[in-house]
A and B are shown apart, each in its own frame.
Chain A
Amino acid sequence: MRGAWLIARSVLVEAVRRREVYAVVLVSLVLIGAVMTVDFFNIEGLSKFYREVALKIMSVATAFTVIVLAARQLPREFESRTIYPLLAKPVSRTSFLAGKLLGVMLAAAFCFLLFMGIFLVGSAYLHLKTQWALFGQYVYLQMLQMLVLATLAFWLSMVMNLDAAITLSCVFYVTSSVILSASTYIYDLVPQYAKALLLGAIYLLPQLDLFDLSEKAVHAEVWPPLPASVMGALTLYGIAFASVYFLISLRLFARKPL
């Protein structure tokens, strides 16, 4: 366990010391700042527009950061040969991979924390009230979504090169909601075997939209927080996908000659 923690800490140190995260935050800050200057809404319209755009930007930027960070963990270790002295120490491959995942999640939390800080400062500037319970749920589900994305990127990075793994993970993240809605539209129009395929795809692929409470957070005054049972179900749903992806990654990694 200590081994995993030490490896996680090294991933976090990397994320904090490299400039990419700050570049992403800076770009997001500029975009969010630009939103705040829009003056063709009334006060209520502007606050909703600000919330909507800011939360979307933060969500997308964190997702991309997590995908890149997770996908490059193992290929970079191989490329720079840093994996050899590390795995020569008494640390199992399971602890190593678990540490990497924990590190990516800590880095995601760090990234999200920066964004939240910006968002809350912006909200305070616009005198917006924050529904803390719903906002907390939004953050929690975003982190759950990041866990699913990180484990997916881990898996893909094990079976394809780094660029392909990043591209495919990003494509999946962006098109995840499209896959679901497109499947819903065409379901009645396709033959039986295609229906089975569509259903299979819907059940086999994680529905990332389920983790997105940004719409509710935008209209927080009319939406109550989600009941605990729904949060519990979503937690199980996210952890189930993350566990499957992580176990596949682990199985591949355990058999991989270095």
Chain B
Amino acid sequence: MSNLPVIEVENLVVEYGRGSTATRAVDGISFKVMPGECVGFIGANGAGKSTTIKTLLGFIFPRQGQVRVFGSPAGTVESRQRIGYLPEVALYYPFMKARELLELYGGLQGLGRAELKRRIPPLLEEVGLAGRGETLLKNFSKGMQQRLGIAQAIIAEPEALIFDELSSGLDPVGKFDLRQVLLKLKQAGRTIFFSSHELTEVESLCDRVIMIHKGRIVTEATVQELMKPLNEFQVVFQLPDGSPVPDSISRHKPERDGSNWRASIRDTAEYAAAVADLSQCGARIVSTSSNSRSLEDYFISLVRGTGGNA
């Protein structure tokens, strides 16, 4: 596998409109996605996620900066040769049958007629549309269209997948099925870059997360790095008269609450050490609790300006 980045974004600035009325949707972001990585791109509505993704595909043009996909400038035919894309809202020609649509998209990616004939039935089955190949798309529900969208994105077995709002329009079963498809693709070594509002999905699928807020990247870390400070342990204790607070506790700035002390500790090892020290100095442990926050809590606190540690 090559070590060249699949996606390379450097100081990207995208603006809508011109002159004094221009709105900056993306404000100088830089990031890379390496081969085989699964990267979640998360942010609130209007944060700049879809704009960034559209720039990757050459749908909109940057005001500044460089965007390269597989080493080619974004928007060139070469850059789109090895990617599969699922748009946020996937609607397809209502006058076509599902099979015809997949033939069109597969054909555009260079697949021959025989190859398409071989690939389409199992692909429809994989996305939960078995036996629907001859149905006109005007008779497809939104969820079915989204499933077909996934099929068109992966029909040519692209090396990289770019999904805008991953599970938009899917019911819980659809989301589960999609996750299975993505896990399979991830295991097969495909590069996956997707934006999503479903942070549990990001948590369960991604190796790395990029958070964007008001056009700027606010966090870029592996899921493990992000989740580490999100676990919080609380210990409530009483000290024997005149005993000082042990060092392992005092660094966590415990608060006094009547005769009780309350400390919050984020790291599991430090928590274990603190409990051991308290026992050793004869303190009475009143209660312990753990409070695991989700990526969603972290994200909400981040976009509300209270910082990731709130």
Contacts and interface: CB of A to CB of B under 8 A. Distances in A.
Interface of A: 2-3, 6-7, 9-10, 13-14, 17-18, 80-82, 84-92, 255, 257-258
A92 B75 CA distance: 9
Contacts of A6: 104, 107-108
A90 to B, nearest CB: 5
Interface string B95-109: 110001000110111
Contact of B95 (A2, A7, A14, A92): A14
Interface stretch (B76-84, B172-180, B202-210): B76-84
B54 interface: yes
Interface stretch (B28-36, B85-93, B271-279): B85-93
Given A90-B77, A257-B60, A258-B59, A85 B93 contact: no
B108 A89 contact: yes
A84 B86 CA distance: 9
Contacts of B162: 88
A218 B196 CA distance: 65
B149 interface: yes
A81 B164 CA distance: 13
B52 interface: no
B246 interface: no
B91 A80 contact: yes
The 7 closest A-B pairs by CB, nearest first: A88-B85, A89-B108, A258-B59, A84-B87, A257-B60, A17-B95, A90-B81
A17 B138 CA distance: 12
B96 A88 contact: no
Given A88-B80, A88-B83, A90-B80, A81 B91 contact: yes
B57 interface: yes
B224 to A, nearest CB: 32
Interface residues of B, number: 33
A84 B92 CA distance: 10
Contacts of B92: 82, 85
B50 to A, nearest CB: 10
B135 to A, nearest CB: 14
8 contacts: A13-B95, A84-B85, A85-B86, A87-B58, A89-B80, A90-B110, A255-B61, A258-B59
B152 interface: yes
A7 B89 CA distance: 21
A72 to B, nearest CB: 13
A120 B69 CA distance: 56
A85 B61 contact: no
B234 to A, nearest CB: 48
Contacts of B59: 84, 87, 257-258
Nearest to B83: A88
Contacts of A10: 93, 96, 104
A90 B96 CA distance: 21
B136 to A, nearest CB: 8
A255 B95 CA distance: 29
Contacts of A17: 95
Contact of B109 (A80, A81, A90, A258): A90
B96 A89 contact: no
B108 A90 contact: yes
- Identify which of A6, A14, A88 gathers the most chain B CB atoms within 10 Å of its CB: A88
- Identify which of A3, A81, A90, A258 gathers the most chain B CB atoms within 10 Å of its CB: A90
Nearest to A89: B108
